[in-house]
Amino acid sequence: MSRVETGQGPFVRNAWYAAASSEEVGQGLLARTLLDEPLVLCRTGAGEPVALQDRCAHRFAPLSLGQRCGDEIACPYHGMRYGPDGVCTHVPGQGTVPPQARVRRYPTLERYGLVFVWMGEVGLADAAALVDIAQYGQPGWGLSRGHALFHACLDNILDNLIDPAHTTFVHQRTIGSDAGAQVAVQASLEDEHTIVCGRWVNHAPAVPMVQRFARPGGLVDRWQFYRVRPPCTSWVDFGSLPAGSPHTPQAMDAAPYRVLSYAFLTPQDASHTHYFSFQLRNFAADDAAVTTEFNALYKATFDEDRVLLEAIQREEERAPGTPPVRIASDAGVARLRRLTQALREAEQPPASDQASTVRAISPS
């Protein structure tokens, strides 16, 4: 399999993908497309989130257009009912149910105010594969949230989220400034699953977000560490200390301004991506007004990325296959692309198996 340089490569399926916020999934039927697969989401009476293939086994009518019958879903076309396990339980007008009358049920996991769906092999679904966030729900950490649908592919969005250098030019109204323009970015593997790319910008004026909420009395040292765990999770550790402070984990924990921004990215298809996000902040944790302001400021920040990424998407669609020129700040992007490629190849059968499959399905 050749490495993808532009556009969206094959989806990695063995992963937890955010499908909806917890609030979106209720007793009604929610239609959502993930990785080009139509799903219907709902909750059982006991509160368990359920994700089923959104296609009746009979004539493929979308189940999301049907009705709830207790914990079952009735198809809008002929009333066939499906249980939470995806098995048809009733066919109006006949006493038996064909054994093949079933739809796929996807494993679900609810955490961090989101409902996640495992889109790959059911036997590989493991709750431990979802990133662990120690600060979530802990005292002293405020929470803000957002969701948007980008007309941009997942691969390009992740490139953006392993790239601290762009903040100097794209986000000067919020988290960037000219002070970082000449500061090199360092990229490395934090562990076998996670890439980290970041830098310290020292003895510089505070960026607008820090000025607004921390009100430093002078110059600051600020850090930006971008982490990506492919295929679909990103988090950014951003904070500020008085200039000359120690750059230790202890000092960062006690900083007057620190925000951990998480993004869970789910392709709708090869050119549209759901961007579920939340921010954990170490100040004004219980201040509803600050939360409201944070929601607006981070929406504005992500919109700045969205406008550029959607423009890039249009250009890639106009001139597919045009190779990009790489520069020094793309070190994290290069590592990310290699790691994602390894995940894709791990999900593909060996070439000999592929040949056997082709022979098996080819007409004699």
Q: What is the pLDDT of residue 357?
A: 38
Handedness of CA 254, 198, 217, 214 (dihedral sign): negative
Q: How far apart are CA 114 and CA 97, in angstroms?
A: 35
Give the three-state DSSP class for 290.
helix
Q: What is the pLDDT of residue 168?
A: 72
302-317 burial, b if ≥16 CB within 10 A, otherwise e?
Answer: bebbbebbbebbeebe
User: Cβ neighbours of residue 99 under 8 Å, at least 6 residues apart?
Assistant: none
Q: What is the pLDDT of residue 356?
A: 43
Q: How far apart are CA 221 and CA 200, in angstroms?
A: 7
Q: How far apart are CA 47 and CA 53, in angstroms?
A: 19
Q: What is the pLDDT of residue 324?
A: 84
- Going by C-alpha positions, the residue among 98, 31, 37 that lies closest to residue 65 is 31
Q: How far apart are CA 247 and CA 360, in angstroms?
A: 60
Beta bridge partners of 198: 186, 225
Beta bridge partners of 50: 42
Q: What is the pLDDT along the chain (364 residues), one digit of tens a residue?
A: 555 566 788 999 999 999 999 999 999 999 999 999 999 999 999 999 999 999 999 999 999 999 999 999 999 999 999 999 999 999 999 999 999 999 999 999 999 999 999 999 999 999 999 999 999 999 999 999 999 999 999 999 999 888 877 777 777 677 766 666 677 778 888 888 999 998 899 999 988 889 899 888 899 999 999 999 999 999 999 999 999 999 999 999 999 999 999 999 999 999 999 999 999 999 999 999 999 999 999 898 988 889 999 999 999 999 888 888 888 888 888 999 999 999 999 998 655 554 443 444 433 3
**Cβ pair 87, 102 in contact under 8 A:** yes
User: Cβ neighbours of residue 127 under 8 Å, at least 6 residues apart?
Assistant: 109, 111
Q: What is the pLDDT of residue 166?
A: 75
Domains along the chain? 16-127 (2.102.10.10), 135-345 (3.90.380.10)
φ/ψ (deg, to 5) at 137: 75, 5
- Going by C-alpha positions, the residue among 60, 67, 158, 47 that lies closest to residue 108 is 47
Q: What is the pLDDT of residue 178?
A: 65
Q: Strand runs (DSSP E) across the chain, as ranges?
A: 16-21, 30-34, 37-43, 49-53, 67-69, 72-74, 81-82, 88-90, 105-106, 108-111, 114-118, 142-150, 186-191, 194-204, 220-229, 233-242, 257-269, 272-281
Alpha-carbon dihedral 316, 320, 325, 327, rounded to 10 degrees? 40
139-167 burial, b if ≥16 CB within 10 A, otherwise e?
Answer: eebbbbbbbeebebbbbbbbbbbbbbbbb
Q: What is the pLDDT of residue 97?
A: 96
- Going by C-alpha positions, the residue among 75, 29, 66, 36 that lies closest to residue 51 is 29
pLDDT digits 0-9 by tens, 200-256: 999 999 888 898 998 888 999 999 999 999 999 999 999 999 999 999 999 999 999
Angle 357-360-364 from CA coordinates, rounded to 5°? 145
Question: The tokens of 196 are what?
Answer: 């980290």
